[in-house]
Amino acid sequence: MRHGNAVGLDYHQDGVQVCVMNPQGKELSNRSVANDWRAIVAAAQHHGPVKEAAVEACCGAADLAHELVQRAGWSVSLAHPGYVARMKQTPDKTDCSDSQVLADLTRVGYLPRVWLAPKAIQELRLLVRYRAGLVEEGRRIKQRVRALLREQRIRPSPPEGLGAGTKAPGAWTASWVAWLKEQAPLSEQGRWVIQRHGERLESLAREIQEVEKRLTQVIKDDPVVAKLRQEPGIGPVTAWVLRAEIGSFERFATGKQLARFCGVSPRNASSGARTADAGLIRASNPLLRATLIEAGHRLIRWQERWQKLAQRMKGRGKPAAVIVAAVTNRWIRGLYYRITAQARPEAACPVSHPT
């Protein structure tokens, strides 16, 4: 490991606080510079070579870290902001003190690091999260449509020509949407609002298709996605989310560690002689956990192994939510070992760039 100073960077949109600390813990400089990698390098290397730098994980910090790694040749780590705040042991917060803590933790090797995803994985996340946002917007619109129908006390009616006892079509089927547009007894303004919601849903559907086409092209040569698609019950959307949000499976030491990262591990709430679970751990990526829970439902429906496990747990009186979480937990732990069976470096994500 090369010798040099430790640098702490407190990131802001308009500027970066740069603290330079020598190996003995003496603060050499602590000042604000422009949010530009050249200005940061000039301020830090004015006091000698840099051994390692740290910046708290936040919006824009990863992009700056990649610039410093690629253009300045620095070793840069992302710090977990929650752990850094607790290790600071003071309620005061200033840019100077924040950068000083980061530099000192880096110097002594106690920095709580988070994974710095390769640039290609970050680009993949942009697309995956954009698609998820479109899907969520569509879900909210559908909720507003159902709320409007309830407000006007409207119940779906069976299509004409069917018996009076015929069950109404399921919501958002083609026949249900046709009934909503043409036959629903809406008020004048209610019909106008429903038409606008329908137009937006159609626009969202087209946009989601465009994003999915781009994702298919971008990730077509990725070996990890290819392995994920070979898993029973795993479709393209689940594979995209796992690849984007997990990134490299090899960065985890065990399948249990991966399951905790995904938020599908039980949270222990033991004290003294009392042992209890308190649901799933809270710290996790919401999109990743929701996607995995959906996969857990499919596994129970389609695979005999998980069906038997679900039946045994149900026989012991376990709630359905606990059963699905347990299946998902065991599946993701097994997936870790299947994916990492032939460990290989994944610093770069082999993606294609669509024209």
Residue 168 confidence (pLDDT): 59
Question: Where are the strands (E) in 80-125, listed by range?
Answer: 113-114
Decide if 79 is inside a domain: yes
Q: What is the pLDDT of residues 186-216, one digit of tens each?
A: 999 999 999 999 999 999 999 999 999 999 9
Structure tokens at 134: 């479109």
Decide if 183 is inside a domain: yes
Same domain, 277 and 184: no
Give the domain extent around 206. 119-218
Query: To the nearest whole number, what is the mean pLDDT of the chain?
Result: 88
Same domain, 245 and 335: yes
Residue 170 confidence (pLDDT): 77
Distance CA 355, CA 353 (A): 6
Decide if 353 is inside a domain: no
Residue 165 confidence (pLDDT): 54
Which residues make Cβ contacts (< 8 Å) with residue 346, sequence separation at least 6? 224, 247, 248, 249, 250
Residue 266 confidence (pLDDT): 82
Same domain, 13 and 108: yes
Same domain, 150 and 176: yes
Query: What is the mean predicted confidence (pLDDT) over 141-163?
Result: 80
Report how many domains make up the chain.
3
Residue 59 has pLDDT above 60, yes or no: yes
Same domain, 130 and 107: no
Decide if 346 is inside a domain: no
| Amino acid at residue number 261 | F
Q: What is the pLDDT of residues 226-278, one digit of tens each?
A: 999 999 989 999 999 999 999 999 999 999 999 999 999 887 766 666 665 66
Same domain, 229 and 154: no
Decide if 354 is inside a domain: no
Helix-strand-coil split of the chain, %, nearest 5:
55, 10, 35
**Of 114, 142, 161, the domain-final residue:** 114
Decide if 48 is inside a domain: yes
pTM: 0.84
Same domain, 315 and 292: yes
Residue 294 confidence (pLDDT): 95
Q: What is the pLDDT of residues 76-126, one digit of tens each?
A: 999 998 888 887 777 778 889 999 999 999 999 999 999 999 999 999 999
Residue 17 confidence (pLDDT): 95
**Of 83, 114, 145, the domain-final residue:** 114
Residue 3 confidence (pLDDT): 79
Same domain, 294 and 275: yes
Same domain, 11 and 69: yes
Q: What is the pLDDT of residues 11-40, one digit of tens each?
A: 999 999 999 999 999 999 999 999 999 999
Residue 102 confidence (pLDDT): 94
Same domain, 88 and 195: no
Structure tokens at 26: 């003496």
Q: Please check whether residue 168 is in contact with residue 174, taking contact to mean a CB–CB distance below 8 angstroms.
A: no
**Of 175, 193, 218, the domain-final residue:** 218
Same domain, 199 and 124: yes
Question: How many percent of the chain have pLDDT more than 90?
Answer: 73
Question: Where are the strands (E) in the chain, listed by range?
Answer: 5-11, 15-21, 27-34, 50-56, 76-79, 113-114, 266-268, 277-280
Per-residue pLDDT band at 167 (split at 50, 70, 90): low
Decide if 321 is inside a domain: yes
Per-residue pLDDT band at 355 (split at 50, 70, 90): very low
Measured at the CA of 326, the angle between CA 249 and CA 126, to 5 degrees, comes to 40
Taken in order 86, 92, 98, 104, is the CA torsion positive or negative? negative
Report the CATH number that the domain containing residue 11 is assigned in CATH.
3.30.420.140
Q: What is the pLDDT of residues 267-310, one digit of tens each?
A: 776 666 666 566 777 778 999 999 999 999 999 998 999 999 99
Decide if 345 is inside a domain: no
Same domain, 228 and 335: yes
